[in-house]
A and B are shown apart, each in its own frame.
Chain A
Amino acid sequence: MALLEIRNLSVTFRTRGGLFKAVDGVDIVVEPNEVLAIVGESGSGKSVAMLAVMGLLPWTADVTADAMLFDGQDLQTLKPAERRKIIGKDMSMIFQEPMSSLNPCFTVGFQIGEALKTHLGMDKAQRKVRTLELLDQVGITDPERRLAAFPHQLSGGMSQRVMIAMALSCRPKLLIADEPSTALDVTIQAQILDLLVSLKRETGMALVLITHDMGVVAETAERVIVQYAGRQVEQSATIPLFADPHHPYTHGLLAALPERATSSRLPTIPGMVPGQFNRPAGCLFAPRCAHASAICHTTPPPKAGAAMGEALCWTPLVNGMPVGKGAAA
């Protein structure tokens, strides 16, 4: 049984300018002990989808889904108090900005211990033992001294380690990491990612890695979901995706990797992700797509089969060239 199963998830924000659909019909399945990467550029709705699963979206967001199951429990029908028993315990999340994600008014020890007290009912002595163990596990030296430290006394990498320790405190089955290394120095980035992967191996939890960095995906993920403008455009195991991307957007993302560049100028994807007010009628990627045909601009594309990475495209690519029924048009 899948650990997390989400079918047809949509998130709509009520904004002053009207409704804005940040996530549109996304399916996410996470198996136990797997690393899934969700990739997409800013505004593709990858964080929003996961915040919806965690129940952390503001009240202006409407979340709908055909199914939203975690570990056999239906997240949609759970009462808020019951859902809070899962959040931070069996399913936890770390965020992009570690420095601002820790509360400046409380010590590291207090903030890590809080979940232990809330979910596991540990007393002060037990919390201290477990917190020291966690700090050690995430590679913080001299944990005894760090317990009394305040967040402003920590570096960015150290803060993210504390965030990870906090998220791991109740031995979660699923850890969602929302761009965990983006705000950090390059050398620290690698350390944090290595730490996440090795912790995943140690604890047997599943890891959802939200990122815009295809390099990170290649190094860490077993499976990839590519999102574009709130839609899921492709999903597949990592190796086939890198070998033969089927959606032109995935293809563009991969071609933009410096490691894969064949010319002196790095290829880019022209244009920008459509916003709230300029959503195309047909395929959302059509205005930026090199292979777009007439039908792409008028009618939303169907989902291709699993062999084609479920690519949301009229003319999925094979070896970089469009095929399929729309090809002739």
Chain B
Amino acid sequence: MLIHFLKRLALTIPTFFALMFITFIAIRLVPGDPVEVRVGERGISPERLAQFRAELGLDQPVWKQFLDYVWGILHGDFGKSLVTNEKVMTEFFTLFPATIELSFAAMMFATIIGIPAGAIAAVKRGSRFDQTLMGLSVAGFSMPIFWWGLLLIMLVAERLHLTPVSGRIDLIKFYFEPVTGFMLIDALLSDQKGAFKDALHHLILPMIVLGTVPLAVIARMTRSSMLEVLSEDYVRTARAKGLSPARVIGLHALRNALIPVVTVIGLSVGSLMAGAVLTETIFSWPGVGKWLIEAIGRRDYPALQGGVMLISAIVILVNLGVDVLYGVINPRIRHGA
């Protein structure tokens, strides 16, 4: 198991180098550079422009810039943001808890609803519930996230006034220093009355928007996996023991059906991050997604490269984690059979 893990870890190294290269090139292919964006349309003397470029190291040949960049990363240095002059690492990890909070909530939302819904649909195959759920899941999977987000804001926040429109908490009513960076936890720690409830209110819509695609995928996956498992011999054995239907389905069948579902959940962390970029932008959620979008606008090369690298690293690590978890729920993998 440990050797298997280390092998997988080693395999991620080339992935990282490819990533470094692609992010580096991709952003430089976009017209405009950080200096031009900052100067804007007012114009500036060519001497000043050259001076700015030299300060940022942009006058160097591209291959040299790349080598400097790789050298920095190998030393754990992702550089400084061109806009704020803060270390990219520091900025990223200040904002990252907000993204984790949102992604985690969205994933909880998707699994807690998706798995039981898919399982029930499989047990009641062909029923109205099954047909409705499968219809909804196609819709949920196909819907553009930004459109769905705007729709919910219009309906739930604007029309019905059930939730706030954007942000993580009402900054006029509540203020406290971040301790963990997770708003829900910080709100609890702050001892301010109503702060937790307010933070929760702010979380609901973004959570639903970001969780919709995974919800659709998980529900479908659980259903099809469950259908397969329900016709297995060991399910009949469980019934032959006189176990209750709840135990037969909820334990014997579901445990087996979840094996592929866990893989899907793990692999969807990548697309979750992509969704987080859109969701955070729509809801002004101050996480790394929104930060990256802003970095693109400002051509903040180090921030963008560093941010993408760090997110990729996290996605790759989560996938590794899923591999390990897979072994925990599937004994056949654990014992190397």
Contact = CB atoms under 8 A, between A and B. Distances in A.
Contact of A101 (B236, B243, B329): B236
Contacts of B236: 56, 95, 101
Interface string B308-337: 000000000000000000000111100101
A104 B240 contact: no
A104 B234 contact: yes
Interface in A18-73: 54, 56
A102 B335 CA distance: 17
Interface in B219-262: 232-234, 236-244, 252, 255-256
Given A150-B335, A152-B331, A105 B240 contact: no
Interface in A161-193: 163, 166-167
A268 B99 CA distance: 72
A118 B243 contact: yes
A111 to B, nearest CB: 8
Given A104-B256, A150-B331, A95 B242 contact: no
Given A84-B243, A88-B242, A89-B242, A105 B255 contact: yes
A210 to B, nearest CB: 14
Nearest to B337: A152
A115 interface: yes
A100 B229 CA distance: 11
B240 A93 contact: yes
A289 interface: no
Candidate in B233, B237, B244, B252 with the most chain A CB atoms within 10 angstroms: B237
Contact of B337 (A89, A115, A153): A153
B129 to A, nearest CB: 16
Nearest to A80: B245
Nearest to A92: B240
A86 B234 contact: no
Nearest to A85: B242
Contacts of B244: 81, 84
Given A103-B256, A150-B332, A95 B233 contact: yes
Given A105-B255, A105-B256, A56 B239 contact: yes
- Say which size band chain A's interface belongs to: 20 to 34
Contacts of B252: 103, 105-106
A119 interface: yes
Nearest to B237: A101
Nearest to A93: B240
Given A150-B332, A150-B335, A152-B337, A101 B234 contact: yes
Given A105-B255, A150-B331, A150-B332, A100 B233 contact: yes
Contact of B237 (A84, A102, A152): A102
Contact of B241 (A81, A104, A153, A166): A166
B335 A103 contact: no
A152 B237 CA distance: 16
- Say which size band chain B's interface belongs to: 20 to 34
A88 B244 CA distance: 12
Nearest to B254: A105
A272 to B, nearest CB: 25
A56 B237 CA distance: 9
A114 interface: yes
A164 to B, nearest CB: 12
B241 A88 contact: yes
A167 B236 CA distance: 13
A296 interface: no
B234 A103 contact: yes
Contacts of B239: 56, 87
A86 B239 CA distance: 12
Candidate in A100, A101, A103, A166 with the most chain B CB atoms within 10 angstroms: A103
Contacts of B332: 104, 150, 152
Contacts of B256: 103-105
A84 B238 CA distance: 11
A135 B329 CA distance: 25
Contacts of A118: 241-243
A88 B335 contact: no
A89 B234 CA distance: 18
B327 to A, nearest CB: 12
A150 B243 CA distance: 20
Interface string A73-91: 0000000010011111100
A102 B256 CA distance: 12
Contacts of A115: 241-242
Nearest to A90: B242
B337 to A, nearest CB: 5
A105 B237 contact: no
A54 B243 CA distance: 13
Nearest to A150: B331
B237 to A, nearest CB: 5
Contacts of B242: 84-89, 115, 118-119
Nearest to A86: B242
20 contacts: A56-B236, A85-B242, A86-B242, A87-B240, A88-B243, A95-B237, A100-B233, A100-B234, A101-B234, A103-B234, A103-B237, A103-B252, A105-B255, A106-B255, A114-B243, A115-B242, A118-B241, A150-B331, A152-B335, A167-B240
- For the complex of A and B, the 10 pairs showing the least CB-CB separation, nearest first, are A88-B242, A88-B241, A87-B242, A103-B234, A100-B233, A84-B242, A150-B331, A101-B233, A105-B255, A115-B241
Given A88-B242, A103-B252, A105-B331, 15 more contacts: A84-B242, A87-B241, A87-B242, A88-B240, A95-B233, A95-B236, A100-B233, A101-B234, A101-B236, A101-B237, A102-B234, A103-B237, A104-B234, A105-B255, A114-B243
